[in-house]
Structure formats: structure tokens, C-alpha cells
Amino acid sequence: MTLKRLSVVLLACLTLSACGGVDPNSPLGQRKAIFKQMLKTGEDLGGMLRGRIPFDGPRFTEGAVKLDALSHEPWKHFPQVREDGKTSAKDDVWQQQARFQDMARTLEAATGELVIASQAQPYKASNLGPAVQKVEDACSACHKQFRDH
């Protein structure tokens, strides 16, 4: 009887996990995963500067480097034509490709500047704060124009 119950529970879990899920290998799934990593990393950096997380200079620098590397990745997972399925990306991503790419480059430049700022010793919030804000502003500007919240 226990095996039968376990089989039913396992089948139910598998069925539920397939409902509404995004294929992690699809362009949408890949870019969502990258954006989630970017969000987590950026939140940790901002948290260190705002006192939510204890500040750790070397860890901050590692996070800045990671965020910079991630900032170059999601754009290659936007296909030339909008894919089928539920996405938070507005049609403008595909209709205004030049503007979308410009904003992607702005984010990449901001994360590169953050890496440079994070390597300056001693660590100072006055050096790091504006660089983090520039990254956050770049993210926000792109979301406002190209993301359907």
C-alpha cells in the first residue's frame, strides 16, 4: 500500500511540475535563469551597501565581477522573432532592437564600471554606492521600456 501511495504522490508531483513550467533549455528559460542570477547578485551587493548584509570587501568584488559576466549573457537568448509562450518581454524588444541593444550595452558598461570601483582600496561606500546605483538605474530603465510587469 505504501508503494502505491508513493507512486501516486510522485505522479502528482511530476504532473504539477510540468504544468506552466518553462523549458530551462529554451531561450526564455535560459534568459530567465540568468536574470534571476543577476537579481540575486545585485541584491547582495546593494544589501551590503545598505546594511542588510554585513559588508565584505572581497565578496563584494567577487559579486561585481560575477554581475559583470552575467550582464553580457541574457541578450543572446532573445531570438530574432518573439517566441510563443508567456514572457515578460514586451513586443518592443523585437520592434525596437537597436534601442534594446543600446540599453543592454549601457548595463554592460555600468557593471564594468562597478568592477573597477570595487577594486579600489580601501573599500568606501562613497565609491561603490554610485556605481551600484548606475547598475540599478540601467536595469530599471530597461525594465520600464521593455518589460511587461
> Which residues make Cβ contacts (< 8 Å) with residue 68, sequence separation at least 6?
108, 111, 112, 114, 115
Task: Give me Rg for the CA atoms of the chain.
Answer: 19
Sorted by sequence, the CB contacts under 8 Å of residue 41 that are 6+ apart come out as: 63, 66, 67, 70
- 77 annotated as a binding-site residue: no
Is 143 assigned a ligand-binding role in the annotation?
yes
Sign of CA dihedral 20, 31, 34, 120: negative
Under 8 Å between Cβ of 50 and 128: no
Q: How far apart are CA 113 and CA 128, in angstroms?
A: 10
* Residue 139, annotated as binding a ligand: yes
Annotated binding-site ranges for heme c = 139, 142-143
Annotated binding-site ranges = 139, 142-143
